[in-house]
Structure 1
Amino acid sequence: MYEFLVGLEVSDNDAYSDYREGMKPILTSYGGGFGFDFVVSEVLLSEVDTPINRVFTIHFPNKTTAEKFFSDTEYLKVKAQFFDVSVSHITILSGYEKDT
């Protein structure tokens, strides 16, 4: 399994919820899913200057499948409609192979 640890600055929670709802069936069709999901109230230490108020893990069967998902035309439509207007900053904290 390949997993990303992601930090976001969500600026519009309603639109972000619509994004999650719209992209989840596409994610599932690629064998992907979410692991942990946190709303963060305070970041005590950061290696980046951009703010983070949401941290989650997203996983796929492998890295190639993740790349295919993120370039899927239907996913990109949902992303443009909801994600791009709801998220101010994206920080990929890590990407790694995970033992299941």
Structure 2
Amino acid sequence: MLRLHADVHGAAGEDEDLPHTAAGDWTPHVTLARRVRLADIAAVLPLIGGEIRARAGRLRRWDKRSATVTDLGGFDGRNENAGVPGDDDPVNAS
């Protein structure tokens, strides 16, 4: 995830990112569940299991300031050496 993030960040170019979103300062994470009530955490945690292996197929950017999500586009995540979308499916940050 760190390599993918650095590649996407580099391809997107300079912007007014928050310091913790810059390549090297970002904490990789995935959403495993949404809207789990605090009272249900103990019951949900064992469901996560061990290591999770996955490939990204679509990127989006959360902007906390405006509380909006920007779809950055999809790509073929099957190539383990590819960090960013190919020429046939470029990142669309607009």
Normalised TM-score (structure 2): 0.22
Name the structure, 1 or 2, with higher relative contact order (CA <8 Å, separation 6+): 1
Higher percent of residues as strand: 1
Structure with the higher fraction of residues in helix conformation: 1
